[in-house]
Amino acid sequence: MNAQLLAALIMLPITAVFVYAGFHEYRRYKIEGRATYGLSYDEETGTTHLTGISDADDAYNPEDFDPNDYNDPDIKNEDDADKS
């Protein structure tokens, strides 16, 4: 198998993913219009993820984040075990 064919076989799935993502975003744009993307904060898990943000919602601002406000269930369980 020559190197050019091997390179094409490696790049084919990557190219397919990008084409699919582009087609999916184009369809979404045609149906919903322009989108605003940003970080969204999940208070239950303490994680952020990139998502579409509606006009009514505020994007996640890292400067407003206080790690002391997050209640990690694993940390609570460890604290309860230490008290026993």
| Residue range 17-26, pLDDT digits in tens | 999 999 998 9
Q: Is the pTM of this model over 0.85?
A: no
Choose between 82 and 11: higher pLDDT.
Answer: 11
The per-residue pLDDT of the chain, averaged, comes to 76
SS3 string, the chain, reads CCHHHHHHHHHHHHHHHHHHHHHHHHHHHHHHCCCEEEEEEECCCCEEEEEEECCCCCCCCHHHCCHHHCCCHHHHHHHHHHHC
CA-closest candidate to residue 41, choices 20, 69, 79, 18 = 69
The residues spanned by each domain of the chain are 1-34, 35-84
Reported as a pLDDT band with limits 50, 70 and 90, residue 66 is low
81 pLDDT more than 60? no
